[in-house]
Structure 1
Amino acid sequence: MNSVNMSYALIRHMRRTALLSQRIRLESTMTNLTPEDIVFRPPLAQWGKVIREAEKIVGYPTSFMNLRWLLSDEFANLAMHLRTVVGMNHPIVKTAKMLLYNEHNNLQPWGLVILLLSKAVNPHTSLLTSTVTQNQRILAELTEMIRTGHYVHRGLLNIPVSDRNKNSDTAIFANKIAILIGDYLLVTANGMLARLKNQDLSYIISTALRDLSEGEFYGKRDAQNMPLPGKPVNNPSDIYNICGDTLPLEVKDVSGSPIREWTLRSLYNGGTLFGRGCQGAMLLGEHDLEKQENAYKFGCHLCLAWQAATEVQKMTSEKDSFSLVSAPVLFALSENQELYKLVENIENITDVDLDQLKVEVLKTNAVERTRLLYVEHADKAKSYVETFEDCQSIDTIKQMIYTL
C-alpha cells in the first residue's frame, strides 16, 4: 500500500473512531491529562458558515490546509505506528481526532485570517502580487503547522520510572510517536520558513517560537506538567500591555493577578505566534512598520477575544471540562481567595473536584468578567483591523470577530 493510500486509510479510521467517541464517554483518567484548552476561536454553530464564506474569498478550503503534510511519505510512516495506539485514550489520539475529524467546531482559522488580511492589503495591479500571495500562503500554512506541532508535543503523559510496567508500555510508545509527529511538523514548518529566504520574517517567527517554549516553564505545574494557577494577590493589576517589540514577554508581578496572568498564559500558548503570522503577512507585502505592528496587535487581541469566548462557554456548559488557569477560575480565585485551597499543593489536576470548583466559580461574577474581557479584546482587534483597507476581506474578519 503506498503512502497516500495509507494516509487516507488512517483518516477514514480516525473519523470512524471520532464518531464512536461521540457516543461513548470514556472514563479513563487519561482523558483529563490534556493541555489547557487553547483553541482561539468561537465554538459556535454559526462559525462553520462564516468559515465557508471566508474560504470563498481566499479561493480554497483552508480547513484542509494541512492535508498536504498528512499525505506525505514521512507522515505516512508515522501514521502506521500511530494506528497501534488508536485503541487507547492517550492525548495524542485525542489530538489526531481533532485534526482529522473536521467538524465545524474543529476548524482552525489562523491561516484563513492571515490570508484574508493579506488579500486586503495586497496591491491588485502589481506584477509581484502573485509571488507575494504565494509566500503569504506558505506563511499561513507554516503558522498552522507550528501551532499543531506544539499542541501535539504538549499532549505527552509523564509516567514516573517507579510506575512503569508492561501496562504502561503502550503509553510510553504513544509518547514517542507524539514526539516524532510534533518534531516532523516543526521541522517541516522551519524548512518552509527558510525557503522564503526572508531574514526579518525568520526573526519575528523565531520570537514566537521562543514564547511557546518559555510558556512551558512559566508558573506552577502538576506532575503531568499541566499549569496551576498562581496564588491570588491583593490589589491585582488589571493591565497587561501588548507591545509589538520582539523582547521577551513581561512576567514581573503577573502571577496571582487574574487579567495579567491569563493574558500572559494565552500569549505564551500561541497568541504571539498568530500575531507574528499576521505581522509577517504585512512584512512579505512590504508594508511599513506601523502596519506591521497593527497587524501583530490585531492578531494577539483576536486570539485573546476568542479564548475568552471559549472559556465562557466551557464554564457555563454542563458537560465541557475547563482549565484551572482559565479566566473564570482566575477571576473567582481573586474574588474568593479561600477557593485557592482547592487547587493548592496538588500533585495532579485530576485530584481537583472540578464539579465543586465550577459551582463555586459560578457563585462569583467571574463569568461576567470573562465576557467583558472578550468584548474588550474583540473591540481592540476590530479597531486595529480597521486601520487597513475597507474591503470584503476586512468585513469578513470583523464578522469572524463577533460571531457569538
Structure 2
Amino acid sequence: MSISLDDIQAPIAQEMELFEKKFRTSMKSKVLLLDRIMSYIVKRKGKQMRPMFVFFIAKLFKDNIGEATYRGAALVELLHTATLVHDDVVDDANYRRGFFSVNALWKNKIAVLVGDYLLSKGLLLSLQNDDFEILKIMSNAVREMSEGELLQMEKARRLDITEEVYFDIIRQKTASLIASCCAVGAASAGASADDIEKARLFGEKVGLAFQIKDDLFDYGTAEIGKPVGIDIKEKKMTLPLIFALSKADWLTKRRVIYNVKNNNGNNKRVQEVIDYVKKSGGIEYTVQAMNRFYAEALAILSTFPASPSRTSLEQLIAYTIEREK
C-alpha cells in the first residue's frame, strides 16, 4: 500500500493545523475588496508543500516549534503567493490549479496591487518581530526567482540554452524557493550557520530533482493528468530536449528547433519533437540527472540525527519523485 501525504505529514499535523489558523488570520484586511481576494486565495491553496518543509526542517533541530517557525512558514507562503499572483499577470494566465487566477477575476491592475500587498505583509511580519535572518533568506530567494525567470525569457528567444544555463535557470526559478524554505526552517529553530547552509543545500537538491521530474511529465512518461507537450508548445527548452539536441547533427538540430519555434500548437510537430527526444535517449539521461540530485539530497539529510521528521522528509521526496501526476 502506498503512503499518503497525510501519513507523511503526521509528525507535523498539529503544527500545520495551527499554521492554517494563524495564516488565515494574517491574511485578513479592513479593505473589503482585498479581504474578499485574500479569502479566495486562502481557499484555493495547493498541497502546502513549502510550509511542510519549513516545519519538518525546524523539527530536526527542535521538538517544540516556536512562534518564529510559524512566522517563517507564513513569510514563505506570503512571498510565494505574491510571486504566483504576479506570474499569472506576466503569463496572462487565466487559471491556477484549476481555479480562475486573481487577474482573470479582478483584472491585472488589481492583481499587481494584491501581489504588492502580499509582499509588504510578509516584509512587515518579519520586521515587526526582528526576524532579520529569515527575511534575508526569503528576500534572496525572491531575487533569485526573478533572475531565473528573466534569464529564461532572455534565452527562450533564441532557444540556445545549454545544459549549464538550464541548471542555472531551474536552480534560481524553482530550487531556490525550496532551498529557502529549508533554510528558514533551520534558522527559525536556532540552528547554527553551518546547519542552516546544509539545510539550504538539501532543499536546493530536492528542488532540482522536483523540477526535472516536472520536465519529464511533458514527455508523457506515464499516464498523467498534465497534457503532453506543453513545454514544447510554449517553446521552453528542458533537459530531455537539450540533451537530444546536443547529440544531433547540424541538419537534424535545425529541423527540431524549427519545429519547436514554429509549432503554433500543431500537435504533429510537437509529437515529432517528442519522438526525436525519446529516440535520442533524452528521457533516460534526464531520469539519471533527477536520481543524482535525489541521491545527493538524501545523503545530506542522512547527516542529521534520525527522527520522525527526517523519515517524513525522506518519504516526502520519494512521494514527489515517484508520483505519476
For the criterion TM > 0.5, the same-fold answer is yes
Q: Which amino acid aligns with 1:395?
A: T
Q: Which among 249, 260, 279 is matched to residue 343 of structure 1? A: 260
In structure 2, C-alpha distance between the alignment counterparts of 1:341 and 1:110, rounded to whole Å? 38
In structure 1, C-alpha distance between the alignment counterparts of 2:112 and 2:266, rounded to whole Å? 27
**Residue equivalent to 1:150:** 83
Q: Offset of 1:56 from its aligned partner?
A: 2.2
**Residue equivalent to 1:299:** 203
**Is residue 271 of structure 2 the alignment partner of residue 355 of structure 1?**
yes
In structure 1, C-alpha distance between the alignment counterparts of 2:217 and 2:43, rounded to whole Å? 23
Q: Which amino acid aligns with 2:54?
A: I
**Residue equivalent to 1:326:** 238
Number of corresponding residues = 294
Q: Offset of 1:141 from its aligned partner?
A: 2.2
**Is residue 54 of structure 2 the alignment partner of residue 114 of structure 1?**
yes
**Residue equivalent to 2:182:** 278
Q: Secondary structure at the match of 1:402?
A: helix
In structure 2, C-alpha distance between the alignment counterparts of 1:257 and 1:75, rounded to whole Å? 48
Q: Cα gap change, 1:75/1:387 in structure 2, threshold over 3 Å: closer, same or farther?
A: farther
Q: Offset of 1:73 from its aligned partner?
A: 3.1
Q: Offset of 1:351 from its aligned partner?
A: 7.7
**Residue equivalent to 1:257:** 162
Q: Which among 214, 227, 242 is matched to residue 147 of structure 2? A: 214
Q: Cα gap change, 1:119/1:334 in structure 2, threshold over 3 Å: closer, same or farther?
A: same
**Residue equivalent to 1:180:** 113
Question: How does 1:120-199 map onto structure 2 within 5 Å?
Answer: 120-122=60-62, 124=63, 129=64, 133-156=66-89, 174-199=107-132
In structure 2, C-alpha distance between the alignment counterparts of 1:178 and 1:333, rounded to whole Å? 39
In structure 1, C-alpha distance between the alignment counterparts of 2:230 and 2:278, rounded to whole Å? 13
Tell me the TM-score normalized by structure 2: 0.77
Q: Offset of 1:270 from its aligned partner?
A: 3.4
**Residue equivalent to 1:312:** 216
**Residue equivalent to 1:55:** 9
Gaps of 5+ in 2: 93-102
Q: Which amino acid aligns with 1:55?
A: Q
Q: Offset of 1:69 from its aligned partner?
A: 6.1
CA root-mean-square deviation: 3.4
Q: Cα gap change, 1:272/1:196 in structure 2, threshold over 3 Å: closer, same or farther?
A: farther
Gaps of 5+ in 1: 1-44, 84-92, 160-169, 232-255
Amino-acid identity (%): 19
**Residue equivalent to 2:281:** 365
Q: Offset of 1:220 from its aligned partner?
A: 4.1
Whether the 8 Å contact between 1:75 and 1:181 is mirrored in structure 2 is no
Tell me the TM-score normalized by structure 1: 0.63
Q: Offset of 1:52 from its aligned partner?
A: 0.8
**Residue equivalent to 1:379:** 295
**Residue equivalent to 1:72:** 28
**Residue equivalent to 1:393:** 309
**Residue equivalent to 2:97:** none
In structure 1, C-alpha distance between the alignment counterparts of 2:28 and 2:56, rounded to whole Å? 27
Q: Which amino acid aligns with 1:72?
A: K
Whether the 8 Å contact between 1:219 and 1:230 is mirrored in structure 2 is no
In structure 2, C-alpha distance between the alignment counterparts of 1:304 and 1:75, rounded to whole Å? 39
Q: Offset of 1:113 from its aligned partner?
A: 1.6
Q: Offset of 1:76 from its aligned partner?
A: 5.6
